[in-house]
Amino acid sequence: MLLELKSIRRLIIRDDKATAAKYISEYIISRIKSFGPTPQKPFVLGLPTGSSPEGVYKNLVAAHKNGEVSFRNVVTFNMDEYVGIPREHPESYHSFMYHHFFSHVDVDPANINILNGNAEDLEEECIAYEEKIKRAGGIELFLGGIGPDGHIAFNEPGSSLRSRTRVKTLAYETIMANSRFFGNDLSKVPKMALTVGVQTVLDAREVVIIITGAHKALALQKCIEQGVNHMWTLSALQMHPYAMCVVDEDATLELQVKTVKYFKSIEQVATSQGFGQALPSEELVLKKRDSVLEKLDSPRSPTANSFLAPARPELVRAVTPDLVPDSMHERLPSPAEKSMPLDGLEAKEVPLLAMHERVDSMVA
């Protein structure tokens, strides 16, 4: 029971990286098909870059070429982009996405959204990106990967779990890790990036994370078996009702044996009963979004905070009457009051008994 209260909703364990990627690609395809996107109601998909999702993109491209799925009515939002390198640079995330995915499927270029790391006003670019996501109706499914330190996108250790799309200075460890894409030359690695925030990811209706390799095992353990911690930003998914991590066996090396057995047994039972990833109904989601927008649009009053709310009428006390000071002699009983019987009974003298008489009465 402890694991259910303090864990990612679903942990899917596969033998290796290839089968983990296969599971995710098939899951995304099934979600797009069940959603039934149209030009008026597109499927909004959040996408990552890096080595983790490469297998997923390869499978999605193959499925598209086989006629299994169309991305014509899919709107995409990428997680991040470097600051200061041209879009055409081979290591820009624009280049990565077109090389691995966009150029091979039927997605409409007008539906592709990637942060512009060369914008004149980077902060304004980030604000506009959040607004684009809102206008698109929010992200239906956010696919992501993590780093060895558990970061999502460029939300590195110490990032606020309420953060939004913003300019981010990269940690030295991240620069070192990314140097392999720049000929191991640290001077060529960008030092800043634009990234969606942790809260931006949490706002998605569903989040799916791929985690593979023994070098990410500690991050998975921290985020699955321990509590929410801004030093391991993946752990924020514990607060998401529809989060799923798909991992390979190597990524589970730091997990307790009982944790692995627990999640494997949950999947086995769910599969035998024909259960899938439960999702809220579309009407419920739309109502929730409308209510949130209404709250955002309505002006806040000074008493909007529950601690400042006025008292309810039935709980308001009556006005306390004025107290009239008296003197001490008025509080003392009068001689007539002293002679009055106690509790309506006549006062009478009680004879004193000698000690031996008391003992005899107790023995009797």
Task: Report pLDDT digits (tens) over 11-62.
Answer: 999 999 999 999 999 999 999 999 999 999 999 999 999 999 999 999 999 9
Given a contact cutoff of 8 angstroms between Cβ atoms, the answer to whether 242 and 278 are in contact is: yes
pLDDT in tens, 178-232: 898 899 999 999 999 999 999 999 999 999 999 999 999 999 999 999 999 999 9
* Max Cα distance, the chain (Å): 114
What percentage of the chain exceeds 70 in pLDDT?
A: 73
User: Is residue 285 pLDDT above 80, yes or no?
Assistant: no
Q: What is the C-alpha to C-alpha distance for residues 186 and 303, in angstroms, rounded to an integer?
A: 53
Question: Is 149 a catalytic site residue?
Answer: yes
Of the candidates 282, 245, 247, the residue with the CA atom closest to the CA atom of residue 140: 282
Catalytic residue among 81, 125, 156, 206, which? 156
* DSSP H stretches of helix in 152-232: 172-178, 198-202, 217-225
Q: Is domain 2-290 given the CATH code 3.40.50.1360 in the classification?
A: yes
User: Is residue 287 pLDDT above 90, yes or no?
Assistant: no
Res 342: pLDDT: 54
User: Is residue 100 pLDDT above 90, yes or no?
Assistant: yes
- Spatial neighbors of 38 by CB under 8 A, at least 6 apart, are 73
- Spatial neighbors of 343 by CB under 8 A, at least 6 apart, are none
Domain ranges of the chain: 2-290
Residue with tokens 């820009």: 92
Res 338: pLDDT: 57
Q: What is the C-alpha to C-alpha distance for residues 64 and 132, in angstroms, rounded to an integer?
A: 26
pLDDT top residue among 349 and 104: 104
363 sits in which H/E element: helix 355-363
Average pLDDT over residues 238-245: 95
At residue 193, the 3 state secondary structure works out as: strand
User: Is residue 358 pLDDT above 70, yes or no?
Assistant: no
Res 173: pLDDT: 85
| pTM metric for this prediction | 0.75
User: Confidence band (pLDDT; 50, 70, 90) for 92?
Assistant: very high
**For the CA atoms of 34, 35, 39, 41, what is the dihedral angle to 10 degrees?**
160
Res 296: pLDDT: 46
Catalytic residue among 81, 140, 149, 206, which? 149
pLDDT in tens, 316-356: 444 444 544 555 555 556 666 556 655 554 555 545 555 55
Catalytic residue among 64, 94, 125, 151, which? 151
pLDDT in tens, 246-284: 999 999 999 999 999 999 998 888 888 776 665 654 544
Res 3: pLDDT: 33
Given a contact cutoff of 8 angstroms between Cβ atoms, the answer to whether 189 and 175 are in contact is: yes
Res 17: pLDDT: 98
The mean predicted confidence, pLDDT, of the chain is 83
